[in-house]
Amino acid sequence: MQHIIFRETDLKNTNKDISTTALSAEPVSNFIRNIIDEDIRTKKWGGRVETRFPPEPNGYLHIGHAKSICLNFGLAIEYEGVCHLRFDDTNPKKEGKEYVDSILDSVRWLGFDWGGHLHYSSDYFEKLYKYSEYLISQGKAYVDSLTGEEIRNLRGTLTKAGTNSPHRERSVDENLDLFRRMKQGEFSDGTHVLRAKIDMASPNMNLRDPVIYRILRAHHHRTGDAWCIYPMYDYTHCISDALENITHSVCTLEFEDHRPLYDWILAQLKDRVPCHPQQIEFARLNLTHTVMSKRILMELVEGGFVEGWDDPRMPTLAGLRRRGYTPFSIRLFAERIGVSKADSWIGMDVLENCLREDLNIRAQRRIAVLKPLKLVIVNLPDNYEEECLVPNHPQKPENGSRVLALTKTLYIERDDFMEVPTKGYFRLAPGVEVRLRYAYIIKCVKVIKNASNEIEEIHCSYDPETKSGTIGSKARKVKGNIHWLSSKYALKSEVRLFDNLFSDSRPDVSSREYKRLLGVNSKEIISAYIEPSLNEAQPEEFFQFERSGYFVADQLDMKTDRPVFNRTVTLRDSRGKYKA
């Protein structure tokens, strides 16, 4: 059996993402794969593996969904099976085509293909209705005319049994008549519901006569106004699995208590559905400094706390994509964190490191000065220009090089100069020498300040015998190495620096005050200078801005007169030293 793994050799020298990964005969073990291995050994499903990813189209997918997508589609790939993409579209008040389209786009972007196995729960509305009539005929379901509040009050507690509804013993004929009239639209919303008739004293609250149909007048994005009653998720999901011949219904742990209901419904319909899939639960993803609740994410969008579902601070796949995350990095993350039965928190740095591993190999290097300070080389003529050869990737000479012009006036990073250097500071300071990366060694000879005593520019002299790459340059060593751009050729750019959505590593969203935990400085917009070649960057093209981090050309806001780049992730910084 082949199992998907990710390794550095899968990465190509391209900005395009990898849609297929290398395979290894070494299994990556987890409890779900162990279950499937045993099922294959015993030929429980005839050696067949069929999974599904069933999103509700009421929001955009987030990184937690990516874990499930990678797991379900990944299992199908590993075992040469099939994974279905099925939309649970049973609540038209909250669902819509925008969300359907975004989900399709996100799954494709991650690199997965459902082939001909795209389904909607609404495909099964007629069958679901007929199955509910069958349950009524068998005395397994009844129409209840209590209000929602009355039903909740009679449901009981974890330590107290529920109380039967006064309508629980309606006759089969009366229930069928009422249910058919519900379908025909005779009753207003909330007047009646259909409930499964199980056990109001069950220790499992999900088995205390759960509602399986309700009256809901709302326009459905696929079926229009054909229906005014809609099935509930727990009823719909298991039947949809069975109708699609799913073998392993993999879901998160919050559905563990729902599994007895899943099994009960399919047991009642055992002679009417093709199979009884096995539900398997795993722990959902909890990622620090963000939330995995679509309800909370919706509140952030609708409340204007973020700029939309694709805001680069959002944990949505659309937001991560706009931030500059690659599909490969997310698939690597999903594989690396694995699956288990235990809830735990995963640090944001794990996700970021997966991205760094990918981009460090594939991102072309470019130079940008984010917080510019003017530097004048005093012993160069005013019209001086010299070409400096700059590699596109220091570790990949096959990627070639480009030319930057050295002129008398440059821009350097303001943080690369300190008038009174602290201990361990090895960049530019009065009387101190540093190397202009790919150029010459310079020495600060003068500091120019304005009336407010703020540094406006610095003057330096350069040593013409120290150009990078020449024999003479090796005779002299300096500790500092700073990047630069010619003021004559540098282009202005809008650069957006993003930080964590929440300042708290584990934001408590149970309180309505959770919004106070939003990062105050989670987005900063600066005017920076970039090298001329970046003016040709295409939307979603990523780069390493040397010594600054990884950046991506914004997919929506790229402008010909002022390119826009989003910082994807910072570089690793160890003792003040930056990776190339």
Active-site amino acid positions:
56, 284, 294
Strand (E) positions, 379-428?
Answer: 385-391, 401-407, 409-413
Among positive and negative, which fits the CA dihedral 183, 189, 190, 191? negative
Burial (CB count <10 Å: 0-12, 13-18, 19+), residue 264:
buried
Backbone angles phi, psi at 391, to 5 degrees: -70, 145
CA Rg value for the chain: 30
In DSSP terms, which residues pair with 448 in a beta bridge?
457
Give the C-alpha separation, 6 to 110, whole Å: 14
Region of residue 46 (phi > 0: left; psi between -120 and 50: alpha; otherwise: beta): left
Nearest to 51 by CA among 241, 273, 261, 239: 241
Backbone angles phi, psi at 138, to 5 degrees: -95, 5
Pairing label, strands 372-377, 542-545: unpaired
Contacts of 372 (CB under 8 A, 6+ apart): 411, 412, 413, 414, 528, 529
DSSP string, 516-541: GGB-TTSEEEEEEEE-GGGGGPPTT-
Give the C-alpha separation, 76 to 70, whole Å: 10
Burial (CB count <10 Å: 0-12, 13-18, 19+), residue 324:
buried
